[in-house]
Amino acid sequence: MKERCRETLERAYLFLDGELLSVTERHEIKLHLEDCAPCFERVGLEGDVAKIVARLRGCQPCPASLRQKISSLLDETH
């Protein structure tokens, strides 16, 4: 991975995590993502994952009985 890509992705992940970035930093990230398809796809995927995690934070934990049933089903398949 190119150093420029690595640096851009690091800053993009900070932004996805809710860190405040300057207008200049956000603009630099945007320009890079417009020119670099691999980074664009990676940030898009990370953004989707971040949204799912944020949505699930408010959910109740899985009941122990359901967790046990899932574990036993997984054990049967291996």
CA distances from 67 to 47, 62, 71 (A): 28, 6, 6
What per-residue confidence (pLDDT) applies to 64?
85
Q: What's residue 3's pLDDT?
A: 92
Helix, strand or coil, per DSSP, at residue 3: helix
Residue 62 has pLDDT above 70, yes or no: yes
Residues in the chain: 78
Residue 37 has pLDDT above 60, yes or no: yes
Query: When comparing pLDDT for 41 and 54, which is higher?
Result: 41
| Selected residue with higher pLDDT from 65 and 56 | 65
- Report field, pTM of the whole predicted structure over 0.85: no
C-beta separation of 36 from 5 below 8 A? yes
